[in-house]
Amino acid sequence: MPRVRLQAEPFDPGAETNAFLKGREETGAFVSFVGTVRSTPDKPVTSLTLEHYPGMAEAQITRFAEEALERFKLTDIAAIHRFGTMKPGEVIVMVMALSPHRLAAFDGANFVMDWLKTDAPFWKKEAGPQGENWVEAKATDDTARDRWKS
Amino acid sequence: MKLVYFAWIRERLNRSGDEVDPPAEVVTVSDLLDWLADGDESFALLLEDRKAIRAARDEELVDHDAPIAGAGTIALFPPMTGG
């Protein structure tokens, strides 16, 4: 069973990694993805707020994690996603995939992230010097997801 | 039937949901959007770009041609931007 967690509180990706990997003698490949709040000089962001649809958000990520587990024959997979307001540099999301070999672990983490970005009910709102705006969905994210449909 | 709204849809309507009882001829999500737009000016403005509206029926993503009969909750929201 994939472990999927949604929370408002910050979390430590290092501690999550160590906990996930503890006692895993029989697998050889671990891949994790960590997404953080970005702020650049040409597009400064003071905070990012993630709205979500409670219940459905968790159910969707769990569905993608279960599909990844099955499709890539993973040993285990886990995902953590935050909601609420966070600052630049803070962790938003983490996906961890474990498998006997590295390609499946990379693919599993990629698969979950690609589906999560377009099909899990979260919405980002950025605040910066120019005010607040809802982040627009990108067509490239749909393309990234669609490559897994074959 | 319960309606719930998220992100800029919720903000522009200035509420997070409604309780509605659409007539029998409102069969699909698309019909529901038409019916909402007919009865509410703010919905009409919001729904000018239909492609920007996503829907979930009882927490399952559905297309605009999906039936709404028997649904407990229909959620309306913009394209998702998680991760």
Q: Does the pLDDT value for residue A33 go beyond 90? A: yes
Backbone CA torsion sign across A49, B83, B6, A58? negative
User: Among A122, A66, A121, which residue's Cα sits nearest to residue A97?
Assistant: A66
Q: What is the mean pLDDT of residues B45-50?
A: 87
Residues A35, A64, B1, B7: what is their CA dihedral angle, to the nearest 10 degrees? Answer: 10
Answer whether residue A148 is part of any domain: no
Tell me how close the Cα of B46 comes to any Cα of chain A, in angstroms. 15
- pLDDT, position B47: 86
Residues A104/A115, Cβ–Cβ less than 8 Å: no
Q: Which residues numbered 80-139 in A keep a CB inside 8 Å of some CB on B?
A: 81, 92-93, 113, 116-125, 134-137
Whole-complex ipTM: 0.95
A121 contact residues in B (CB cutoff 8 A): 6, 56, 75, 77, 80, 82
Range of the domain at B53: 23-77
Cross-strand bridge partners of residue A47: A127
| pLDDT tens for each residue of A77-134 | 999 999 999 999 999 999 999 999 999 999 999 999 999 999 999 999 999 999 999 9
Cross-strand bridge partners of residue B75: B4, B56
Q: What is the mean pLDDT of residues A26-54?
A: 96
Q: Does the pLDDT value for residue B56 go beyond 90? A: yes
Backbone CA torsion sign across B62, B65, B68, B73? positive
Residues B75/B9, Cβ–Cβ less than 8 Å: no
Q: Which residues numbered 55-84 in A keep a CB inside 8 Å of some CB on B?
A: 55-57, 59-60, 81
- pLDDT, position A1: 81
Give the pLDDT band (50/70/90) at residue A27. Answer: confident
DSSP state of B62: E
Buried b (16+ CB within 10 A) or exposed e, A88-120: eeebbbbbbbbbeeeebbbbbbbbbbbbbbbbb
Packed helices A139-146 and A102-119: angle between N→C axes, nearest 10 degrees: 140
Instruction: Domain count for chain A, please give it.
Output: 1
Distance CA A83, CA A8 (A): 5
- pLDDT, position A26: 84
Choose the closest CB to A117 out of B4, B7, B82.
Answer: B82
Answer whether residue B9 is part of any domain: no
User: Among B75, B46, B70, which residue's Cα sits nearest to residue B60?
Assistant: B75
Q: Can you give the CATH number for the domain in which A91 is found?
A: 3.90.1170.40
Distance CA B47, CA B52 (A): 8
The reply to whether B78 touches chain A by the CB within 8 Å rule is yes
Q: Which residue has the higher pLDDT, A130 or B62?
A: B62
Instruction: Domain count for chain B, please give it.
Output: 1
Q: Which residue has the higher pLDDT, B47 or A7?
A: A7
Answer whether residue A114 is part of any domain: yes
Range of the domain at A110: 3-128
Give the pLDDT band (50/70/90) at residue B83. Answer: very high
Give the pLDDT band (50/70/90) at residue A72. Answer: very high
Distance CA A89, CA B31 (A): 43
- pLDDT, position B46: 87
Answer whether residue B5 is part of any domain: no
Q: Which residues numbered 28-67 in B keep a CB inside 8 Å of some CB on A?
A: 56, 59, 61
Answer whether residue B8 is part of any domain: no
- pLDDT, position A71: 98
Q: Does the pLDDT value for residue A145 go beyond 90? A: yes
Choose the closest CB to B75 out of A53, A60, A125.
Answer: A53
Give the pLDDT band (50/70/90) at residue B49. Answer: confident
Answer whether residue A29 is part of any domain: yes
Answer whether residue A141 is part of any domain: no
Answer whether residue A87 is part of any domain: yes
Tell me how close the Cα of A117 comes to any Cα of chain B, in angstroms. 5
Residue to substitute from B54, B62, B80, interface A, most A β-carbons within 10 A: B80
Q: Residue A6: which residues within 8 A CB-CB, separation 6 or more?
A: A52, A54, A57, A58, A61, A80, A81, A82, A83
